[in-house]
Amino acid sequence: MNLKSQFATITMSQELFHSSTPLELESGEILSEFDLTYTTYGQLNEKKSNVIWVIHALTGDSNASEWWSGLIGEDKFYDPSYYFIICANLLGSCYGSTSPLSTIPNSEQSYYYDFPELTTRDLAASLERLREYLKIEQIHTLIGGSLGGQVSLEWAYTLGKKLTNAVILASTAKTSPWVIGINEAQRMAIEADNSWGKKTIDAGKKGLEAARAIAMLSYRHPDDFQKKQLDFEEKLDGFRAASYIRYQGNKISKRFNALSYWTLSKTMDSHDLGRKRGGVKKALSEITAKVLAIGVNSDLLFLSEESRFICEHAQKGTFKEINSTAGHDAFLIEFEQLSYFLKSFYLENK
């Protein structure tokens, strides 16, 4: 990629975008206004050709250099010295963007359970508002994994020639019944919390812990548990795997909330790139950007063949597969393989 124009200093900025123009959602509901928190790294080059737009997964935030530190940062593949990197906290999330805990406009009340249903298409539409506000005419690479990959596909479809490359990691063009079932099991866990239904910040907190425990079993692979959570001593209780799952549940409850988790899991369920577009295959074939779909050989959530399907039906599709025992989360871990795939993709698509 011939995008390098070294800057004297690497700049990082965290900003809040407010849209006062109503956003009509697929459900027919309307958000009269909304906020998106976003983070930028680096600067636009003279040709404005170095934009890398990152879309986070279900419980991510806009600080992409933190949760993707092996890919984004000084001397990493996406180095802010060379690229202008943007990541916005998705609508519905709880890291500064409009969410169920936000105050309803012209009211003193929060949305809570009245927050509207969001689809991946709605999230893409909100990001489009931010792009227009930032006056970015061309995105060099749009990259996202899991839910972020779904939103990336939706936005890639509508961006058309304003997007050069789309990198879709461990994701799918349409959410499978398997994933919907896993997500529903998590929501049932939240519903079982007797605080669910109350209009408080901590509503469903213990249920969220159980939901995350369920999710972790789909994010990992049995081989990964065998390798990292095996007990070598004989015991009747207090197993490492049990402690690990409880730890993950407790960890998420300290940084996220059940209402946003519920909302975004429903958003994931809604994903269907082909809805009202003549089907998934037709919709994929109409994406004009070059598409790199990366699957994970051990992914139990979004199967690797779903990434291959994206590649096979995109106009300009390339498929790569991460080899890892880490399961779905490998796209957040296997940085060496990711960097190699990205380098090859860019070289082949100059």
Q: What is the value of pTM for the model shown?
A: 0.96
Q: Which of 99, 146, 260, 298 is catalytic?
A: 146
Q: What is the pLDDT of residue 350?
A: 79
Token pair 């975008």 in the structure block, residue = 17
Low-confidence ranges of the chain (pLDDT < 70): 1-10
Token pair 């990992």 in the structure block, residue = 220
Quick: pLDDT tens for 69-86: 999 999 999 999 999 999
272 is catalytic: no
Given the candidates 1.20.1050.10, 1.10.1740.110, 3.40.640.10, 3.40.718.10, the CATH classification of the domain at 178-267 is 1.10.1740.110
Q: Which of 56, 171, 328, 329 is catalytic?
A: 328
CB-based contacts of 341: which residues, under 8 Å, 6+ apart?
292, 294, 320, 322
Residue at 63: amino acid letter: N
Q: What is the pLDDT of residue 9?
A: 55
Quick: pLDDT tens for 179-228: 999 999 999 999 999 999 999 999 999 999 999 999 999 999 999 999 99
328 is catalytic: yes
The residues spanned by each domain of the chain are 12-175+272-348, 178-267
Task: Report the chain's C-alpha Rg in angstroms.
Answer: 20
Q: Which of 193, 269, 299, 329 is catalytic?
A: 299
The domain 12-175+272-348 belongs to what CATH superfamily? Alpha/Beta hydrolase fold, catalytic domain (3.40.50.1820)
| Distance between first and last Cα of the chain | 7
CB 186 within 8 A of CB 90: no
Categorise residue 276: left if φ over 0, alpha if ψ from -120 to 50, beta otherwise: left
Closest Cα to residue 126, out of 225, 215, 18, 27? 18
* Bridge partners, residue 37, by sequence: 16
329 is catalytic: no
Interior angle at CA 333, CA 68 and CA 124, nearest 5: 50
d(CA 203, CA 195) in angstroms, rounded, equals 5
